[in-house]
């Protein structure tokens, strides 16, 4: 649909379910690589003019599982992650990952609720109320 494959993109011959790391550039709205959730090993490069447009572009999605912000200004990255990016998990200077000590889950159409940590354990518990007068 007009994106350019900079790396990968072709399934190698042979048995198994291996998909090589793939990087796409020139990704724009209307392309599946822009409009849908990409799960690795695929990355879409989307050009924006400034930080404000980057935040708008990130939030202009029906999905919100995880986000990563890479910056030299850690304070600024922390502010953007905590206050401006709409995602269930947001990492500053690290890739999105799960850790059993941290709650993990999305917002918007990336789901609701959390798995992992004590929050995740409560998602699988049925609480019963018994009232006697």
Domain boundaries defined on the chain: 4-100
- Check residue 86 and give its pLDDT: 96
- Check residue 40 and give its pLDDT: 78
- Check residue 17 and give its pLDDT: 86
- Check residue 56 and give its pLDDT: 97
Domain over 4-100 is classified CATH 3.30.479.30: no
- Check residue 20 and give its pLDDT: 93
H helical segments located in the chain: 32-35, 51-59, 74-79, 117-123
For the segment 2-56, what is each residue's pLDDT rounded down to a tens digit?
Answer: 999 999 999 889 999 888 999 999 999 999 999 998 887 999 999 999 999 999 9
Distance, first Cα to last Cα, the chain:
67
Is the distance from CB of 73 to CB of 83 less than 8 angstroms?
A: no
For the segment 50-100, what is each residue's pLDDT rounded down to a tens digit?
Answer: 999 999 999 999 999 999 999 999 999 999 999 999 999 999 999 999 899
User: Going by DSSP bridges, is the β-strand pair 66-69/89-92 parallel, antiparallel, or unpaired?
Assistant: parallel
Whole-number percent of the chain with pLDDT over 70: 100
- pTM for the model stands at 0.81
| Separation between Cα atoms, residue 68 and residue 75, nearest integer Å | 14
| Separation between Cα atoms, residue 7 and residue 37, nearest integer Å | 19
Residue 124 has pLDDT above 80, yes or no: no
């Amino acid at each position: 649909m007009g994106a350019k494959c900079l790396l990968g993109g072709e399934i190698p011959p042979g048995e198994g379910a291996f998909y090589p790391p793939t990087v796409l550039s020139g990704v724009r709205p209307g392309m599946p690589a822009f409009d849908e959730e990409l799960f690795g090993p695929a990355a879409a490069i989307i050009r924006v003019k400034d930080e404000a447009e980057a935040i708008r572009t990130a939030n202009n999605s029906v999905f919100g599982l995880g986000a990563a912000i890479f910056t030299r200004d850690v304070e600024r990255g922390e502010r953007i992650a905590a206050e401006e990016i709409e995602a269930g998990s947001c990492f500053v200077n690290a890739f999105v990952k799960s850790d059993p000590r941290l709650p993990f889950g999305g917002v918007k159409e990336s789901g609701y609720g959390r798995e992992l940590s004590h929050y995740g354990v409560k998602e699988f518990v049925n609480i019963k109320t018994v009232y006697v007068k």
